[in-house]
Structure 1
């Protein structure tokens, strides 16, 4: 029984490492040419935008208002506390989405260089 479990685990690991996993692109990476595309400042809401909360969470500044972002995670674009992470720097991003209950629900989120 142990041999079967080890065999299945090794093939699962090999499949994952070789990329035999379906390409599931997160919904917030799909640009909709019909929606407005905004260029915003993006960073950690509590570390750089002085927003309420004790947890590091991705936020944007859109038209001089600050919103926490639903969809992409703060660590989806590298470690939040790394040299260029959202907790250390404010970055520019292109976003699409809607404001719902004082949160920005992103349908598209792309960091700019």
Structure 2
């Protein structure tokens, strides 16, 4: 009986760990900028976009102005930056669950 319970708890622990590993997103480094100003995307103003594997996507989950003034010399409208992001591409948009701008040294 003790062995059966041990095996059962062991199986539950392994299954839970496997499920946790599936749901954790791995961050990736992408190019980030204003989609209209830097990536040539069609839009209605200055909107944050990322470029992943050569394809550009507008971003949902964060806004361009949450990362500083987009119109400064090194802002998103005037320069392409690097960002560490997690999320997924859905309906031709990047749904960000995290977005961290990488500061140049």
Deviation at 1:98? 1.0
| Greater C-alpha radius of gyration | 2
Does 2:73 correspond to 1:83?
Answer: yes
Alpha-carbon separation, structure 2, partners of 1:83 and 1:75: 14
CA-atom RMSD in angstroms: 1.2
Does 2:31 correspond to 1:41?
Answer: yes
Q: Secondary structure at the match of 2:36?
A: helix
TM-score normalised over the length of structure 2: 0.73
Q: Secondary structure at the match of 1:78?
A: coil
- 1:1-12 alignment to 2 at 5 Å? none
Deviation at 1:76? 0.5
- 1:1-113 alignment to 2 at 5 Å? 34-113=24-103
Structure 2 gaps, min length 5: 1-22
| Count of matched residue positions in the alignment of Structure 1 and Structure 2 | 81
Structure 1 gaps, min length 5: 1-32
